[in-house]
Amino acid sequence: MGFTRVYEAWKNDPETFWMQAAEGIDWVKKPSKALFDDNAPLYEWFKDGQVNACYNAVDRHVENGRADQTAIIYDSPITHTKREITFLELRDRVASLAGALRAKGVEKGDRVLIYMPMVPEALEAMLACARLGAIHSVVFGGFAANELAVRIDDAKPKAIIAASCGVEPGRVVHYKPLLDGAIDLATHKPDFCVVLQREQEVAKLIEGRDFNWHGFQHGIAPAECVPVSGDHPAYILYTSGTTGAPKGVVRSTGGHLVALNWTMKNVYNVDPGEVFWAASDVGWVVGHSYICYGPLVHGNTTIVFEGKPIGTPDAGTFWRVISEHKVASFFTAPTAFRAVKREDPTGEFIKKYDLSCLKTVYLAGERADPDTITWAQEKLNVPVIDHWWQTETGWAIAANPMGIEKLPVKLGSPSVAMPGYDVQILDEGGHPMPTGGFGAIAIKLPLPPGTLPTLWNAEKRFMSSYLEHFPGYYETGDAGYIDDDGYLYIMARTDDVINVAGHRLSTGAMEEVLASHQDVAECAVIGVADALKGQMPLGLLCLNSGVTRPNSEITAEIVKLVREKIGPVAAFKTAIVVERLPKTRSGKILRATMVKIADSEDFKMPATIDDPVVLDEIRVALQTVGLAQ
Ligand code: COA
Ligand code: AMP
């Protein structure tokens, strides 16, 4: 069946479409129906079913002839380690860890925070929680103690599972002091912590609170899978919003399993048994959906890669991993390819490896620029598919459904809306725009299975952030247009979220840090174009009157402060001091205009600007850091 017919089948009868997709999941009790809309505009899927995510990701494969198939390949060029774990081994390891967590009091519905680098134990920790019906919340290792503390206070975890350290090029990331610092900062205290001691650094444990990963499992009975209802939260994943407080995106178990399982064949075109590799991190949604749950639920082998596209040891790492482990589908962020292309523009490393196993490459996380796609297509000689989604949706809103039908690729477009998503472009008043019109991208409610039902403990914020602006729709926060063939073009954000190396960051959160500095009177953070990372944050500061210290001293402190408060992932390296910030007459800072000036783009003088001369001052200041040329 061609894609149009599949999409139409969904549109004409979503209930039947999703109940059929639900057949791919092993239910303890089958749901009586797919959509539960009694609480609209809040929706739930498969609510009256009973299911366990870990059973579907692990145990069922052991029972169905895949016991000896490799479930996880751990490939860590940064620590020179490789390891393979079969589904049988994974089942035993996860059941043992879950048993030990249960023995310490973790039960269905309890939250468990996970702060780990890219090691297989990170997936095991997630799956052990899922086995018990506990709700995990993974925090990316590049966040600082303060960000970790904010998440601890919001999720109120009973336990925290961490590793002693992470390893970044040229430095060991000391997780344990960050963890201890976060617990000190947080108001909520976990009952206990579990620490995976890595060879690269053995952390000091706090007697009575911290337990050794291996030691605390000793002599404990393994845990069986605990059935949960379809709407039971599988996890909470925090993501950046407009303000400093991150949003706790909730993922319900039933829809999560059904949707991810559906995408593995239909979007990513892999069959059970094949190797699927998403080169991301468990701290991001890509890691949740396509390093952990998606491939495992579908019976694919997944790769846990601890390294970088370049420098570990070279720009050939991706190709070495693909050829060595026979990767069929490969998923990464455009920024990673830009990094490889910069070091190896002619693809010399690619020529060294047999990549005949590779069928398709998928890109997401940020806009895929046509140059990068063309380069990858030419050098790898396979389709390179851009697809668009967000933490909130958990799977692709728009993609090229390779397992159904390969649609023509249009450079600059992540192709078409997937079944489940009725995507529309709206004007400010919430009216659908004519084809080709540029506007806010919204999705007609209900969102499909696997997408967020709400925000953790913040239903009002969920409504105000996503549902209220355009009644009847989910507001994506992205803007763009749809062409005559129904292809989407994602062009910009409508909020203060920026995208740095495929990481979503909040300029509002950075501004809060800048504003907390004693010498700063006023500030703005904008995302300026960067050839490698897509965007980079830049801070503009107005100092309090009477400050006499050199500007360079203050900007250096600001850079350090953002790293301390938010973390290295913010990639905040540049701040400049200016006399004034451009504003509207009502006092709104003209951030978008400053972005245009920094990126040397044409812009329309805002009609409401208070004093246009300020823009010239900003241009001169930006030129001192190589922008606005
Ligand atoms: N733990 C601790 N620190 C981390 C970290 C982690 N898990 N991940 C990144 N960081 C640090 C980096 O070491 C870097 O620190 P530095 O300022 O001391 O150099 C900083 O955070 C910024 O990281 P990032 O923006 O990711 O840049 P990078 O230098 O690590 O790598 C590229 C950048 C160019 C290699 C980039 O192309 C890349 O691959 N990024 C990851 C893309 C990705 O997986 N996106 C996920 C969505 S699919
Ligand atoms: P995250 O929630 O971190 O996955 O970030 C989601 C945001 O990243 C989206 O709302 C977009 O702004 C951007 N994004 C992700 N994928 C794409 C893509 N393929 N093209 C353009 N922007 C993308």
Mutate to test the pocket of ligand 1, among 119, 281, 387 (most ligand atoms within 8 A of CB): 281
Dihedral, CA of residue 267, residue 273, residue 274 and residue 279, to nearest 10:
80
**Summary mean pLDDT of the chain:** 97
Q: Does residue 496 have a pLDDT over 90?
A: no
Amino acid letter at 549? R
In this prediction, residue 81 carries a pLDDT of 98
- Mean predicted confidence (pLDDT) in 368-384: 97
pLDDT at 340: 98
- Say whether pLDDT at 339 is over 90: yes
What would the pLDDT profile of 219-269 be if each residue is shown by its tens digit?
999 999 999 999 999 999 999 887 778 999 999 999 999 999 999 999 999
pLDDT given at position 241: 81
Judge whether residue 422 has pLDDT over 90: yes
Residue-level pLDDT at 475? 98
Residue 358: pLDDT band by 50, 70, 90 thresholds? very high
**Res. 419: pLDDT tops 90:** yes
336 CA closest ligand 1 atom index = 37
Ligand 1 centroid to Cα of residue 113, in Å, is 21
Q: Which of 251, 372, 478, 488 to mutate to test the pocket of ligand 2 (most atoms within 8 A of CB)?
A: 478
Expressed in angstroms and rounded, the spacing between residue 425 Cα and the centre of ligand 1 is 33
- The answer, yes or no, to whether residue 115 has pLDDT greater than 80, is yes
**pLDDT for the residue 244:** 76
**Ligand 1 lined by 173 (C-beta under 6 Å):** yes
Percent of all residues in the chain with a pLDDT value above 90, rounded to a whole number: 98
What's the rounded Cα separation, in Å, for the pair 305 and 508? 32
Whether residue 78 has its Cβ less than 6 Å from ligand 1: no
pLDDT tens track for 325-335: 999 999 999 99
1 has a pLDDT exceeding 80? no
Question: CA angle, corner 392, sides to 390 and 393, nearest 5?
Answer: 70
Helices (H), 550-610: 551-565, 591-598
| Residue 426 near residue 473 (C-beta atoms within 8 A) | yes
Residue ranges lining ligand 2, Cβ < 6 Å: 239, 285, 364-368, 386-388, 390-391, 414, 476-478, 490, 493, 499, 504
CA distance 289 to 303: 13
Which single residue is written with the structure tokens 């949604």? 285
Give, for ligand 1, the residue of 168, 288, 337 to mutate: max count of ligand atoms closer than 8 Å to Cβ.
168
Domains and CATH numbers, the chain: 501-623 (3.30.300.30)
Q: H-type helices in 119-174, by residue range?
A: 120-132, 145-155
Residue-wise pLDDT for 134-167, tens only, equals 999 999 999 999 999 999 999 999 999 999 999 9
User: pTM for the whole thing?
Assistant: 0.97
339 C-beta closer than 6 A to ligand 1: yes
Asked whether residue 107 carries a pLDDT value surpassing 90, the answer given is: yes
Q: Does residue 311 surpass a pLDDT of 80? A: yes
Rounded-to-integer distance, Cα 498 and Cα 505, Å: 5
Residue linked to tokens 């048994």? 273
pLDDT, residue 548, reads 94
Structure tokens, 619? 């241009």
pLDDT, position 402: 98
Distance 569 CA to ligand 1 centre (A): 6
- The C-alpha atoms of residue 116 and residue 305 are separated, in whole angstroms, by 13
Give me the mean pLDDT over the 472-484 stretch: 97
The string of pLDDT tens digits covering residues 445-470 is 999 999 999 999 999 999 999 999 99
pLDDT digit string, tens, across residues 382-407:
999 999 999 999 999 999 999 999 99
Position 213 scores a pLDDT of 98
| 561, 562, 565, 566: CA torsion to nearest 10 | -170
Helices (H), 427-497: 459-462
What average pLDDT does range 344-358 have in this prediction? 98
Nearest residue by C-alpha to atom 38 in ligand 1: 336
192-196 sheet: strands from edge to edge: 210-212, 192-196, 159-163, 111-115, 135-138, 233-239, 247-252
Q: Which atom of ligand 1 is nearest to the CA of 310?
A: 35
CA distance 571 to 142: 10
Q: Which two tokens stand for residue 174?
A: 């000391």
The confidence score (pLDDT) of residue 189 equals 98
Give the CB-side neighbour count of residue 598, counting CA atoms within 13 A: 23
Nearest CA to ligand 2 atom 13: 366
Tokens 């000896």, residue? 68
User: Residue 393 corresponds to which amino acid?
Assistant: T
